[in-house]
């Protein structure tokens, strides 16, 4: 029989197992444990009576079933009923099962977590020993530091990827998105950027990836950097709740290191799959869709997560966030891409046509923008890049004309220059994960242009 709301569940000794779990999450002031009972069960969620007055949206509950204790998140609260999304798929839930409140989900990151791979709940998945908890337990769902207390972002750093360092240079504490359709090269570029040596720590959230790619990313990509990295993984077959929590857990770990004064790189691959997970959870909770099937909560959760990246207060370090965004059917204006672009301090656009030509990383230098590039460039570099972009633009807009033989060399000095230099620029921008990181992208470019010019002069002298 359903428990009336005002007869809150009375805590009994047989629930000692649940209680022990609950103390891991609840604050000391929550010494009174509130409980309720399962009332209805549906695909993706169940409802509980007796908890509505005691729980808040986003809090966790523990549910005891025949197979043990399972966690769930409160996704909707009505006067007599709380809607819960279970964390684990396929958890056996029975009518009238006992459910107790656990409060906000917290993790206690520790320096010893470096080099480890964990799941969204903070438990190890790398066959290593249990995780040692740190001193501070932090809620994974929290707000960003107040904007006026944060340091300004003005210190550039080198990524080692020439196409980024020349055309869209980045600053510590910047938030950058890599936008592309499927299979164009997002994960590969992220893995190359993860090796930048400007960071003390790298925290990676792999959300909705294929299981095969996870080991590849962690072992091949991080390599020597693994000692200063922590990976939080929720693969595509895990529940939407775990996929939704993985970036939050990763960001909480990044905040731990930032607050110690370190410069942290936060990587999320992909943020679109995080948005899909929020959509799945919200749909199960009955939230109506507002844009292409996405409910409003997606558009509040995305900035909530991304705003947490950035510089910390004076004395704290920075979180530089680089995230990938899968654009639906190569449509760069889908609601998630649009919403995320507005939150970020820059976006790198990968073009399928460049990938088809084998020009990896397929970064389009004309449509990619770093809004903080001016702080990273010298005045001279800024002028040079604007000149390079003009040449590339001229080269691309006359491509068809030149292909049909509609241009005669010598008629336009700017175009002649573009025809000579742009293929050299394209060549120097090519880089694979196996190639050495560039120590000075401008020097590499200058060297290539000089070599091409002297080669051309030599050829002209020989012909003469």
Ligand X SMILES: Nc1ncnc2c1ncn2[C@@H]1O[C@H](COP(=O)(O)OP(=O)(O)OP(=O)(O)O)[C@@H](O)[C@H]1O
Which residue ranges make up the site for Mg ion (CB under 5 A)? 186-187
- CB within 8 A of 185, min separation 6: which ones? 350, 355, 360, 361, 362
The answer to whether residue 83 forms part of the interface with ligand X (CB under 6 A) is no
Q: Kindly tell me which of 187 and 318 has the beta carbon lying closer to Mg ion.
A: 187
46 binds, among Mg ion, ligand X, none (CB under 5 to 8 A by kind): none
The site that binds ligand X (CB under 6 A) totals a number of residues, namely 13
360 binds, among ligand X, Mg ion, none (CB under 5 to 8 A by kind): ligand X
Exposed/middle/buried for 427, CB within 10 Å: 0-12, 13-18, 19+? Answer: exposed
Tokens 């995230």 belong to residue: 323
CB of 269 to Mg ion, least distance (A): 6
The answer to whether residue 185 forms part of the interface with ligand X (CB under 6 A) is yes
Single residue of 212, 432, 461, 464 touching ligand X by CB under 6 A = 432
Single residue of 35, 208, 240, 361 touching ligand X by CB under 6 A = 361
Q: What length is written for the chain?
A: 464
Closest of 14, 250, 267 to residue 120, by C-alpha: 250
432 binds, among ligand X, Mg ion, none (CB under 5 to 8 A by kind): ligand X
| CA-based radius of gyration for the chain | 26
Single residue of 176, 326, 354, 441 touching ligand X by CB under 6 A = 326
The answer to whether residue 254 forms part of the interface with ligand X (CB under 6 A) is no
- Tell me the C-alpha to C-alpha distance, in Å, between residue 158 and each of 65, 170, 172, 209, 442: 52, 7, 10, 28, 11
Single residue of 166, 171, 176, 180 touching ligand X by CB under 6 A = 180
Among the residue ranges 31-39, 184-192, 421-429, 453-461, the one whose residues contact ligand X (CB under 6 A): 184-192
The answer to whether residue 19 forms part of the interface with ligand X (CB under 6 A) is no
Closest of 454, 434, 436, 458 to residue 446, by C-alpha: 454
Contact 398, 415 (CB under 8 A): yes
CB of 69 to ligand X, least distance (A): 35
361 binds, among Mg ion, ligand X, none (CB under 5 to 8 A by kind): ligand X
CB of 264 to ligand X, least distance (A): 22
CB of 360 to ligand X, least distance (A): 3
Contact 29, 23 (CB under 8 A): no
The answer to whether residue 120 forms part of the interface with ligand X (CB under 6 A) is no
The answer to whether residue 117 forms part of the interface with ligand X (CB under 6 A) is no
CB of 186 to Mg ion, least distance (A): 5
Q: Kindly tell me which of 177 and 185 has the beta carbon lying closer to ligand X.
A: 185
The answer to whether residue 63 forms part of the interface with ligand X (CB under 6 A) is no
CB of 215 to ligand X, least distance (A): 14
* Angle (deg, nearest 10), helices 271-284 and 335-343: 120
- What percent of the chain is helix, strand and coil (3-state, nearest 5)? 40, 20, 40
What is the 8-class DSSP label of residue 15?
Answer: G
Q: Kindly tell me which of 84 and 196 has the beta carbon lying closer to ligand X.
A: 196
Q: Kindly tell me which of 94 and 183 has the beta carbon lying closer to ligand X.
A: 183
CB of 161 to Mg ion, least distance (A): 16
CB of 73 to ligand X, least distance (A): 27
* Alpha carbons 173 and 154: distance in angstroms, whole number: 9
Closest of 397, 446, 392 to residue 417, by C-alpha: 392
239 binds, among Mg ion, ligand X, none (CB under 5 to 8 A by kind): none
Q: Kindly tell me which of 182 and 386 has the beta carbon lying closer to ligand X.
A: 182
What is the 8-class DSSP label of residue 72?
Answer: E
* Alpha carbons 284 and 245: distance in angstroms, whole number: 16
Among the residue ranges 32-40, 68-76, 175-183, 455-463, the one whose residues contact ligand X (CB under 6 A): 175-183
Assign 60 to helix, strand or coil: strand
Closest of 91, 90, 8 to residue 54, by C-alpha: 8
* Alpha carbons 111 and 228: distance in angstroms, whole number: 9
The answer to whether residue 327 forms part of the interface with ligand X (CB under 6 A) is no
Binding positions for ligand X, rule: CB under 6 A: 180, 182-188, 326, 360-361, 432-433
């Amino acid at each position: 029989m359903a428990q009336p709301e005002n007869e809150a569940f009375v805590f009994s000794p047989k629930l000692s197992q649940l209680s022990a779990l609950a103390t891991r999450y609840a604050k000391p002031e929550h010494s009174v444990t509130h409980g309720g009972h399962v009332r209805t069960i549906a695909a993706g969620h169940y409802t509980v009576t007796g908890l509505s007055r005691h729980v808040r949206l986003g809090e966790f509950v523990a549910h005891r079933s025949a197979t043990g204790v399972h966690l769930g998140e409160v996704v909707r609260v009505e006067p007599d009923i709380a809607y819960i999304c279970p964390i684990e798929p396929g958890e056996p839930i029975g009518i009238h099962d006992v459910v107790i409140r656990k409060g906000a989900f917290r993790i206690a990151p520790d320096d010893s977590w470096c080099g480890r791979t964990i799941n969204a709940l903070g438990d190890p998945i790398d066959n290593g020993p249990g995780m040692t908890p740190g001193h501070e337990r932090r809620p994974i769902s929290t707000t960003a530091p107040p904007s006026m207390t944060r340091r300004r972002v003005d210190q550039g750093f080198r990524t080692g990827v020439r196409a980024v360092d020349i055309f869209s240079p980045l600053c510590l504490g910047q938030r950058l998105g890599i936008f592309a359709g499927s299979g164009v090269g997002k994960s590969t570029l992220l893995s190359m950027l993860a090796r930048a040596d400007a960071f003390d720590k790298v925290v990676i959230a792999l959300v909705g990836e294929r299981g095969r790619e996870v080991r590849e990313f962690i072992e091949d990509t991080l390599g020597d950097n693994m000692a200063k990295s922590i990976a939080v993984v929720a693969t595509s077959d895990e529940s939407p709740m775990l996929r939704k929590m993985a970036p939050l857990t990763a960001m909480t770990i990044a905040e731990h290191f930032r607050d110690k004064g370190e410069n942290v790189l936060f990587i999320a691959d992909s943020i679109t799959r995080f948005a899909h997970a929020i959509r799945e959870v919200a749909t199960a909770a009955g939230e109506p869709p507002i844009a292409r099937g996405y409910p409003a909560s997606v558009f509040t959760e995305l900035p909530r997560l991304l705003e947490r990246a950035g510089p910390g207060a004076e004395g704290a370090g920075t979180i530089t966030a680089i995230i990938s965004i899968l654009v639906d059917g190569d449509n760069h204006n889908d609601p998630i891409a649009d919403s995320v672009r507005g939150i970020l301090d820059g976006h790198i656009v990968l073009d399928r046509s460049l990938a088809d030509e084998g020009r990896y990383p397929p970064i389009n230098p004309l449509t990619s923008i770093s809004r903080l590039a001016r702080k990273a460039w010298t005045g001279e570099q800024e002028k040079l890049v604007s000149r390079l972009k003009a040449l590339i633009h001229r080269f691309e807009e006359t491509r068809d004309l030149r292909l049909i033989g509609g241009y005669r060399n010598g008629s336009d000095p700017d175009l002649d220059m573009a025809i000579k230099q742009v293929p050299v620029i394209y060549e120097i921008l090519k880089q694979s994960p196996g190639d050495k990181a560039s120590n000075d992208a401008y020097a590499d470019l200058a060297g290539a242009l000089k070599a091409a010019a002297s080669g051309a002069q030599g050829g002209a002298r020989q012909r003469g």
